[in-house]
Structure 1
Amino acid sequence: MTTSISAQDLADQLASKRITVIDVREPMEYASGHIAGSMNVPLSRLHQADLPQGPLVLVCQSGNRSSQGLNRLLDRGHPHPVVDLAGGLPNWQQAGYPVRKLKNAPLPLMRQVQIAAGSLILLGLILSNVVAPGWIALTWFVGAGLTFAGVSGFCGMARLLAVMPWNKVSI
């Protein structure tokens, strides 16, 4: 049984309107770029969503969340064919297909993390030279947090930024 679909095959099926695309990313991510005509149903709400009838293609950024969603729907005995987009949204874009961006889309979360972490590191360095040497601890703290995020996959700064008012998106 095939569990994934190529970007080319998805584009062909979308053109013939034989398939529904479900983007399982969070609304903020969806707003920053998605396949035109797709529905946004975050992975955390997929089990309780009223999904359309007929074949479905699940899409996310890397293919990880869409694969999880696929497994959840299959385990639940979803009555219609379900596959995920191989390689996620970057694969779709690399194949030359467009994405639609909403006007109210905030900066991508990872860019926000980079801006915040870089700013805190610079602030710590400046304050340690101008105010008191102890401010260098701020750079150590941010560096340790980034290292922990890379090793564990959990980024506290990203979680904090995700709930900020400027990242609330209504779709």
Structure 2
Amino acid sequence: MSSDIVTPAEVHVLSERHAMLIDIRGHDEWLREHIYGARSLPLEQLQPGCFSEGSLSESDTVVFLCQSGMRTNSATAHLRNAVHPAKALIMQGGLNAWKAAGYPVQVDSRQPLPVMRQVQITAGALVLCGTVAGAVLSPAFYIIPGFVGPGLMFAGITGWCGMAKFLAVMPWNR
């Protein structure tokens, strides 16, 4: 069993030959946009034996992809073990490269943006508004970016993000 890097053009040919495409991004990311025929199986759910016993053989090919290729590249050994004995391939550049090559994707713009993008937009807006209000209205508004910055640091250090938890329960994310 090997693990190889393949281009979107090679994946396009393989997908026509019934290779299994697995998108390891979060399910919310997959719902918003994905390659036709790709299955959603987030990285944290991929474990050795997660496929039913005997469902994959040495003659099977599984192609893993994410948004940009970063997640698949950093988890190559984990991905390879999850599909043993099948051949594991990693799509270079992920979904971004697939789209740049001009291949079609299934887009559902009714789905909300992924929660982490919502966090980035909200944090950026709070910092911008707090800074502008602090400069124009009152220095007391500088407390807003002063609060958001440490919150983002805490989220990065611990992996727990209060803003993400809050946004995840908003009506548009249900």
Q: Which residue in the other structure is 2:20 paired with?
A: 20
Alignment of 1:150-169 (within 5 A): 156=161, 159-160=164-165, 163-165=168-170, 166-168=172-174
Alpha-carbon deviation of 1:84? 1.0
Alpha-carbon deviation of 1:99? 1.2
Structure 2 distance, partners of 1:76, 1:14, is 20
Structure 2 distance, partners of 1:93, 1:114, is 23
Contact 1:110 1:158 in 2 (8 A): no
Alignment of 1:112-151 (within 5 A): 112-121=118-127, 122=129, 125-126=132-133, 133-145=139-151, 148=153
Alignment of 1:21-170 (within 5 A): 21-47=21-47, 49-50=50-51, 53=56, 54-75=60-81, 78-102=84-108, 104-121=110-127, 122=129, 125-126=132-133, 133-145=139-151, 148=153, 156=161, 159-160=164-165, 163-165=168-170, 166-168=172-174
Q: What secondary structure, in the 3-state scheme, does the structure 2 residue paired with 1:37 have?
A: coil
> After TM superposition, where is structure 1 displaced by more than 6 Å over at least 4 residues in a row?
none
Change (3 A) 1:40 1:161: farther
Over the matched positions of the two proteins, sequence identity in percent amounts to: 29
Task: Identify, as 1 or 2, the structure richer in strand.
Answer: 2
Tell me the C-alpha RMSD between the 2 structures.
3.3
Amino acid at match of 2:146: W
Could you list the runs of 5+ residues in structure 1 that have no partner in the other structure?
Answer: none
Q: What secondary structure, in the 3-state scheme, does the structure 1 residue paired with 2:63 have?
A: strand
Amino acid at match of 2:29: E
Cα deviations across residues 13-69 of structure 1 (Å, max 9, x unaligned)?
A: 11232x010011111111121110010011111116326532100111122322344
Q: What secondary structure, in the 3-state scheme, does the structure 2 residue paired with 1:22 have?
A: strand
Contact 2:51 2:83 in 1 (8 A): no
Change (3 A) 1:162 1:87: farther
